[in-house]
Structures are given as C-alpha cells and as structure tokens.
Structure 1
Amino acid sequence: MRPLLWLAAGCVGVCLSVGCASIAATAATAPPATDTKPPVGFEKAVVLWPKGAPGALGTSDGDVPKLFVYPAIGTGPHPAVIVMPGGGYLHLAIEKEGGEEARWLNAHGVTAFVLEYRLGPRYHFPSPMLDGARAVRYVRSHAEELGVEKDKIGLWGFSAGGHLAGYLAAVNDAGKSGAPDPIDRVSDRPDFAIVSYGRFTMDTTIPRKTNMEGLLGDHPTAAMMDAVSVVKLVTKNTAPCFIFSTTADQTVNSLNATEFYDALKRAGVSAELHIFERGQHGVGMAQGMKGSPELAIYPTLLANWMEMHGWMAQD
C-alpha cells in the first residue's frame, strides 16, 4: 500500500506502522504548540477543521490549522494557489514565504491561500500532510463560493513547505464518496505544484544537515525517512511541477531538485526545472537579492509556466 492513502478518510493509525509517535502523544506530554503571527493583507482566516483537527493536542493557535484567504480582484472564477511557507517543520516564514507570494498571485489574477499547518516538536508526520491535504479539499469543495476554478488549484511550497507540496503532489486520492464530511468527498490532488528549495530525497549520498527532525522527531528510522522521501513516491499521477533551487544553497542541496525532476521525468510527469548558481537558502521571491540580481527573474519564469498551462491569465 502506498503511504498515506488513508488521508482521504482522515485515519491516523497507519502512521504508527512507520514509527511516528506524535499522533499518539498527549497534551500532557507534548511540547507546547508553536504559534504563528498571521501574514499581512489577508481578507479572512478559515479554520480547516472547526471541530478539531485529527490528532489535535489542544485548541491554541498552533493546534488549529487554517487558511488565510487572499481573493483575486475581478470577475471569476480564478485559478487558485495554496502557499505553504517553510521553516523546517518547526516554525513558519509565513510572510516572506506566504503573504508576499499571495499578494503577487493576486496581482496576476490568482486567488491565493496561505496555509498555517501544524509544527514540530508538538506535531510530527503525518499532521502537516493531513493539514495540506485538507486545504486542497477545502478549496476544491468550496470552489464556487470562493470564486475559484476547482480544476486549477495549485500548491506553492518553500523549503519544508516545498517538501510538503511535493509530497502532496505525489500522494493524493480522489476522495471518499459518501464520507460524512462533504469536504472529504473531493480529491486532494493539486492540479500543479511549485516547489522552491525543498528536500525531496533522504538519499545518504546527498549531503544534508538534518534528518527532517521537525517532521520525524529526533530519531527517525529508515522506514520513516522512506515514507517522506518524495522521489520514492512519484507516480504517473503526480501533479505537474515547477522546481526552483540554487547551487549555492548550503541547507538543502540542489541535488534534491535534480533527483525530483528525474523522478518526474521517468514517470512521464510534466516538469520544469530552474537551478541558479548563486543564492543561499530561503530567498523567497528572490527580489532585490544583493549579489544575486539574476534571481529576480524567478517570478517571471514561474508566471510564464503558469500562463502556458492556463493556471494564470496572460497579461
């Protein structure tokens, strides 16, 4: 069975088979929740599970996954993108890798959402994946009232958020017909994914500084790492991807980008890859980068790709 096919039903028990302990934790033993200051300029915030998220250990801000909504201006329906900030699954760079991108998308006729997903060390795998899948289902199931096109819903993730977006591009399902919650009846497959400097492989031959402890805990097993190694999860059903990285990134080696591209190519999935020579980890939209002015072209390249596929209106 492919990992996390049970996301459609909201089941969390299978995670224990690969050694994930956070879902089995209790509020009394878990670290405190990580609260995140909202991004700038959103219209409203939507709680993804009003009655509590699966495996929630409390009700504080960090226990409550939510979407910050940035509606596009003008007559819809519009394409939509859910932005997933990075932060090592321990915090969220929610303005630099969330709000800024949402406002840029709005300026290009795309309705945007910024996802606040649950974080370690209080929450580990699969909680962020559950939150991301729920976000896609929420937007798709509420497409009409949100003024978005239900078959033009993408993800845009950075660093840990890039890993999360890549994971959800590969591991998804059509929904569960007859589910009590109407949101669970629709697909969580994104129509496309944009991934910026994300970790996609746990291959020991590729240099890395961490074993994704923010997602997997301090002592992840080989099985746990395999379960989140995106390159091993790619199939022909994986969503088309735009991949951005830099050779100079010392935090997430750009070999992750090439390995992901190769996996997509082998599976026959549409993909576009851009790796710049300069630029450290965490460049965000890459505007005004001192010493790396060439990175400023990144949003233009992305816009061209989205326009080519009909996910952004041409200027």
Structure 2
Amino acid sequence: MGRMKIEQINIFPDRPGVTLTAYIPQGAADLPAMIVLPGGAYIACAPGEGEPVARFFAERGFAAFVLKYSTMYEGFAPARGEPVNKNVHFPGPLLDLGRAVLAIRERAEGWGVDGGKVALCGFSAGGHLAASYITGWNGPELAVLGVPPEQLRPSAAVLCYPVTDFGILRSQQAGEAILMVYQAIFGTSEPSPEQLALRSPARHVTDSAPPTFIWHTADDDRVPVQNSVVMADALERAGVPFELHIFDHGPHAAALSRGLPAEVWPDLAERFLKRTL
C-alpha cells in the first residue's frame, strides 16, 4: 500500500469528543467515501471496529473515515464513574453523522473525495446508527441541520451485525447491558413501546434508503440475527437493492473476522459497493 494521509477534525467546535478521522491514500482523486461507525452500545466506541476497518477500505480505493460519535463516555473505551455526555440521547448521534456527511462533502476536493459517493459502514450499535440514518436522512430530525436533504443523502450502507429492531432485543435479551443501552439512547432504562418502535429502523424503511449490504452470524449471542433478517425483509418490501449474508458461526463484535467464517465479508462488501456506488 502507498502512503496514507491521516487527519482528524472536530465535527462541532465546542464538542471535542465528536471527531472524524480520515484515512486517505496520498495523491488520490475522486474516491468514494466510507464513514466507519464502530459499535460499543452507545457507551463507548470499540477501537477494533474503527481504524482497522478504515484502513481496509482505504487500501481498497476508498477515502475512509472513522466517526467517533456521541457515546456515554468520550473516548474509545469506557471510563469509570458517572457518564456525563447527554448528547448520546437520540437524535444526538444521528446529528453527529449528518454533520460528518456534510463535512466530507464540504471538504471533498481537498480530500480527493467524490462528494456524490458517501457510504456508511456500521457495527452493532454503529449498525443501528447507520440503519437509522439511511431510514431518516430526509426526515424531520435531521432537518435541524438547516441544509437541503439531498446534501445529507447516503449513497450506500454496510450493516454489520446491526441492531435494527428493539422489539427483538427486548424479547430475547435482558440484564444490565441492555438497560445501559436503553439509558444511553432514550435517557431511561424503561423506554415505552412507542419509543422502542421509533428507534427501530427496520420499521421505517422506505424506497429512499440506499443500496444496503448486511451481514451477521447465526449464533450471535449479543444481537440476534433476526435483526438483519427483518431489515433485509423491509428493504425487499420497499424495493431497495440489498445483499444479505448470514454466516453459520462467529462471535459478536468480530469486526474484520480474521480466521472466522465471516472473514470474506469485507471482500463481498467491497464488490457490492463498487457495483452500486
């Protein structure tokens, strides 16, 4: 691989915890952009689902960006003590992602990016954020950014073991972990059925969603595989191009999945993106 330009910017001048880090091949021009959204249950951002994934896509001809969006703790790993970041409550992370899309398009020429091609790649909670964005980019919550919706339009998405329906999580999971997720997103550990439905992107898919690649493992014990199945079903019913891969085995949060059955997903996703972008 040739030399790579690495640059970090703040999405908001007054919020240093929300950053966009670029990984761009030197001398590149008109590259498609890929925004990588690590998982971490909106409590923190998992490092293994950030930079390694961005470097993979940069090596394959993308201008790759890791978005550290609003989480309960500021860094890329959970801290101890009482979390103080209230911007994690939705739609906070959604607005972070909208600002990231705008930042890339505003700086497209200097970064060698084709501003008309901005894809998302989200893992677990980051997959929930990506799915929420592709189903809400032209909705009222992002309208507060004050730009025409077309400037926020995503070109494609890659959803990696995503959370897409909180009804599935509530029916199959319990315990402290899911309560922390609820606290992060909703500001309460006991969200109403209406709140859960509002933040379940599989229930809000329309034909404005972009082409979407989804993968999951059948025995994921943290996010049930049905999350990917219902998302694919919703995309099919809306007439949105999609590709779904379910691998027989693999742990949750496996990222690039080296040495596991799902290790082929990055190559499959790359081919899908190059066909659809």
**TM-score using structure 2 length:** 0.84
CA drift of 1:223 comes to: 2.1
For 2:265, the aligned partner's letter is: Y
Deviation of the 1:138 alpha carbon: 1.4
Q: Deviations over 1:210-241 (max 9, x none)?
A: 26312123221222211211011111101111
Q: In 2, are the aligned partners of 1:169 and 1:238 still within 8 Å (CA)?
A: yes
Structure 1 residue 174, shift from structure 2 partner: 9.2
Q: Which deviations, in whole Å up to 9, do the C-alpha atoms of 1:22-50 show, x marking residues without a partner?
A: xxxxxxxxxxxxxxxxxxx8711111122
Alignment partner, residue 106 of structure 2: 141
Distance 1:129 1:259 in 2: 21
Determine the structure 2 residue equivalent to 1:295.
262
In structure 2, the residue matched to 1:97 is 49
Q: Deviating runs (4+, > 4 A) in structure 1?
A: none
TM-score when scaled to structure 1?
Answer: 0.74
| Residue among 117, 120, 133 paired with 2:69 | 117
CA–CA separation in structure 1 for the residues paired with 2:106 and 2:33:
13
The Cα shift of 1:125 comes to 1.1
Distance 1:69 1:107 in 2: 13
CA spacing shift, 1:75–1:42, aligned 2, 3 Å: closer
Q: Distance in 1 between matches of 2:191 and 2:61?
A: 42
CA distance in 1, matches of 2:100, 2:195: 24
| More helix by percentage | 2
The answer as to whether partners of 1:160 and 1:199 remain within 8 angstroms in 2 is yes
Q: Find the partner of 1:200 among 164, 180, 197.
A: 164
Measured in 1, the distance between the counterparts of 2:5 and 2:190 equals 38
The number of residues matched between the two structures is: 250
The 3 A distance-change label for structure 1 pair 106 and 225 is same
Contact 1:72 1:112 in 2 (8 A): no
Which residue in 1 is equivalent to 2:186? 216
Whole-Å separation in 2 of the counterparts to 1:73 and 1:272: 31
Residue in structure 2 matched with residue 27 of structure 1 by the alignment: none
**C-alpha contact 2:166 2:196 (8 A) present in aligned 1:** yes
Q: For structure 1, which segment, 256-265 or 125-134, has the greater mean C-alpha deviation from structure 2 after superposition?
A: 125-134
What amino acid is aligned across from residue 216 of structure 1 in structure 2? F
Percent identity for Structure 1 against Structure 2: 33
In the alignment, is the contact (CA less than 8 A) between 2:167 and 2:196 conserved in 1?
A: no
Counterpart in the other structure of 1:81: 34
Structure with a larger share of its residues in strand: 2
In 1, are the aligned partners of 2:5 and 2:26 still within 8 Å (CA)?
Answer: no
Kindly report which structure 2 residues correspond to 1:176-191, keeping only aligned pairs within 5 A, or say none.
184-185=147-148, 187-191=151-155
Amino acid at match of 1:80: A
Where structure 1 has 5 or more consecutive residues not aligned to the other structure, the ranges are 1-40, 53-58
Give the corresponding residue for 1:230.
Answer: 201
Distance 1:174 1:136 in 2: 15
Q: Name the SS of the counterpart of 2:117 in structure 1.
A: strand
Separation in 2 of the partners of 1:206 and 1:262?
Answer: 19
Match of 1:243 in 2: 214
Change over 3 Å in CA distance of 1:174–1:234 after alignment to 2: closer
Amino acid at match of 2:198: A
Q: Which of 152, 155, 161 is the aligned partner of 2:120?
A: 155
Aligned to 1:26: none
CA contact (8 A) 2:135 2:201 kept: yes
Question: Residues of 2 paired with 1:192 and 1:116: CA distance?
Answer: 20
**Deviations, residues 72-112 of structure 1 (Å, cap 9, x unaligned):** 2343110000000000000111x310100111111111001
| Maintained 8 Å contact 1:198/1:256 | yes
Larger Rg: 1
Indicate the SS of the match to 1:163.
helix
